[in-house]
Amino acid sequence: MKFSDKLNEFDVLDLLNEYHSELRKLKNKLTYVKKRIGELEDEYQRILRRQEKKASRLISDDQFAEFPENMNSEDDTAALTVDTVEEAETVQRKKREPKEKKVKKTTRKKKSAKLGRKQQPLSEWDQMIVDAVKTKGKAAINSEILETVTKVAIERGLYKDEEKTKAKINQCLVKLTADNRKALIKVPYSGRGFGYALPKWVDKEGQILEAYSY
């Protein structure tokens, strides 16, 4: 940038102070936005966990069949007035039959519920992100994933701009690390943010194995 010859040293200092102040504000804003993104990602995963628990409870409730009411109808009362034991036993057999039908219907409901929860296959963007981590061979941070995925997206004609690509990657990472999928595991990173690793790269406590560490 070409400055006017009319600027003196005090004018320059004033401008420097002003720009440094703006820079500090932008850094604070960036820190705040990153923090909010992390909080929103955690909240999204909590929501997914609640929904999964709710779905599990609904499936458990469907396992119990509704049993027929006690013998209170006029037909039952008339049948029980019969003198012979054989006719009374016939009444009892008739009343047991609906139980078997109800249980069979419940079994079908349970199977249908399980089929309804079938996991969807990875999208093209999901697969590009997982492949980026596999290609590195170790846990990868966002910037590394962004660099690799951007190259692949350009080759496949999917790239639009950096901001949209970042947003798409963040959206996919939230889905890939969700409890109901876990295609990737979020692991702590010494800097800000998190890294991402394959499930077999972490131990039972969720800590990255040394062979796959950054």
Kindly list the domain boundaries of the chain, sorted by start residue. Answer: 63-116, 119-214
Contact between 209 and 198 under an 8 Å Cβ cutoff? The reply is no
Between 123 and 8, the more confident residue is 123
Highest mean pLDDT among 40-54, 106-120, 141-155: 141-155
Residue 18 burial (C-beta neighbours within 10 Å; 0-12, 13-18, 19+) = exposed
Between 92 and 156, the more confident residue is 156
The per-residue pLDDT for range 182-202, each reduced to its tens digit, is: 899 998 887 667 889 999 999
pTM of the model: 0.46
Between 17 and 178, the more confident residue is 178
- At the second CATH level, the architecture of 119-214 is Orthogonal Bundle (1.10)
The partner residues of 200 in beta bridges, in order of sequence, read none
